[in-house]
Structure 1
Amino acid sequence: MNATSAPRSDIEGLSVSVVVYRPDLAALASTLASLGAACEALHIRRPGLPVALYLVDNGGLPDVRASLDALHALGVACIILSGHGNIGYGRGHNLAIERAASRYHLVLNPDIDLDRDALIRAFEFFEAHSDTGLLTPWIGDEQGHQQFLCRRYPALLDLFVRGFLPGGVRRLFARRLARYEMRDLINDRDIVWDPPIVSGCFMLFRTSVLKKLAGFDARYFLYFEDYDLSLRAHDVARVVYAPAVRVLHHGGGAARKGSAHIRMFAASAYKFFSRFGWKWL
């Protein structure tokens, strides 16, 4: 299933990129199954709509033939991009973005489960709001509780408190973190226009906007590439939080993933603040 390009989609289509590096097979299979269910629901509303999945293998891709066969049976073209090594999260997605020939492109993490109606609701929103270039959904955790992954511009203190302090100490900064996480505006009902930063676990773009931005900045290996892309997206289109679109997220923070991730987090934070401006407190 290795390929260099997808079957050409017309301007009405959807492309999806998922970048993996030594992924958990069960979690990835769950993501792909939920994507299949969402595509099946979308095809009921829009028969014949072209959908292409780019599975970008940065290394250690397990055997997912059963998942890809199931997607193919639902009319989803599946393309594995491999052989490039571990080039990082953003550059991996860029391999798919540069090939995309669709109206919409979904940047998707391999730890996300889509609600069956997620793509239907997203398409409806884009078509009702022509100025929307980037959509972020309601995101829940494994217990169904809302995760607040929209962000105001961070200070270094916000990142340190949220990412590295134990829960008991973190509670002392609850009001500060609530503001950073936009809890005064983000809920499960209200559309919020132009949140400054949205999560890279699910970023649905008009492909024309994403190509105008030239995708992710390849200088970030991991972490902050979504912060960077979010801020740049505001220069060319509107960004929206649309809670009618729903997904579940099974991911975790850098501090819980070990010292290598902490080092990558720090390196990317330095690049981010050097580009957009330092804010300490």
Structure 2
Amino acid sequence: MTRTYCSSQTEASESLCADNRGLTVSLVVYRPDVQLLETTLSSLGKAYDRLRDTRDEVPAQLYIVDNGGLQGVDIGSSLELLAKQGIAHQVLSGHGNIGYGRGHNLAIERATSGYHVVLNPDIDMDADALVNALDFLDAHCEVGLVTPRIQDDQQAIQYLCRRYPTVLDLFVRGFLPGAIRRWFAGRLGRYEMRDVINDRDVVWDPPIASGCFMIFRTNVLKRLSGFDPRYFLYFEDYDLSLRAHELARVAYVPAVRAVHHGGGAARKGSAHIRMFVSSAFKFYNRFGWKWV
């Protein structure tokens, strides 16, 4: 995706940079894995410590959105440590399981920061992740969303930036066994942008970014009204990514790094498969069907 910016677009991009006050983070949980959640909170604290070393004042607010199952989970010591590090926190609860996107929206609508991080409770961010993300945003006023380099537990890149998916791409990647999926390696590699995503190069305007770890300018996120609440789970990040291109540029920045302990819908049971298919219909009905 190539964009040409005229003077009015340049002025608009400069206005995106006008507000750089502070950082908010939203983290939606549902029956969380306590160990992974505490790892996520610890990594956030370390990354924020590094950020404060490089900036005079960066007030930070963490919103933990409890969609269910957090009550009775003991993460008090992790939250106390974050408070000592300067990260205020608020637990939003009592609304029930309203879905991933709507959960994040509860935090986004409260955010008054310059930057907002959408974070999964299974992300272990690098200590320099926030420093590198915010430095990049400050250097590139036209960018409204930074998507990081994500790796798995074996330190292999997870290719989570995507081109626009065909129905066949989603079926092959999500539901076919590995032995058969290898027959489609070429087309899946294109869908996953394996030809351009690497450890070194910034990639401009990947069409789709993963919702497991997104770093936004809050003013862009507010103008987009956050996630589309019609998605309960799956494809809300695809939708938000495509809409973000209407207001700002998107950049894959490999200097921003994290480990993701995630899994696919097909490996999570029939309920997740049904939610995946339902969200896929909503996505294609909005943005257009592309079969093969």
TM-score over 0.5 for the pair: yes
Q: Is 1:153 equivalent to 2:164 in the alignment?
A: yes
Aligned pairs for 1:96-115 (under 5 A) are: 96-115=107-126
Number of residue pairs the alignment of both structures matches? 272
Query: Could you say which residue in structure 1 is the equivalent of 2:4?
Result: none
Query: Which ranges of structure 2 fall in alignment gaps of 5 or more residues?
Result: 1-18
Q: Distance in 1 between the 2:153 and 2:235 partners?
A: 24
1:19 matched residue in structure 2: 28
Corresponding residue for 1:80? 91
Which residue pairs with 2:274 in the alignment?
A: 263
Are the counterparts in 2 of residues 11 and 101 from structure 1 also a CA contact under 8 Å? no
- TM-score, scaled to structure 1: 0.96
Of 186, 191, 201, 1:180 maps to: 191
Structure 1: 5+ residue runs without aligned partners? Answer: 1-9
Separation (CA, whole Å) in 2 of partners of 1:172 and 1:49 = 49
> Counterpart in 2 of 1:31?
40
Deviation digits for residues 42-66 of structure 1 (CA, Å, limit 9, x no counterpart): 1111243101000000000122111
Corresponding residue number in structure 2 for 1:7: none
Query: Which 4+ stretches in 1 moved above 2 angstroms?
Result: none
1:137-186 per-residue CA deviation (whole Å, 9 max, x = no partner) reads 00000111111000000000000000001100000000000000001111
Which residue number in structure 2 is paired with residue 251 of structure 1?
262
Q: Which amino acid aligns with 1:33?
A: S
What's the CA shift string for 1:188-208, capped at 9, x where partnerless?
Answer: 100000000000001110000
Please give the root-mean-square deviation of Cα atoms over the aligned residues, in Å. Answer: 0.8
Deviation per CA, 1:16-70: give whole Å up to 9, x if none: 0000000100000000000000001111112431010000000001221111001
For 2:84, the aligned partner's letter is A
Tell me how far apart the structure 2 counterparts of residues 117 and 184 of structure 1 sit (CA, whole Å).
Answer: 26
1:135 corresponds to 2:112 = no
Q: Which residue of 1 aligns with 2:102?
A: 91
| Cα distance in 2, alignment partners of residues 91 and 128 from structure 1 | 31
Cα distance in 2, alignment partners of residues 85 and 146 from structure 1: 34
- Structure 1 equivalent of residue 64 of structure 2: 55
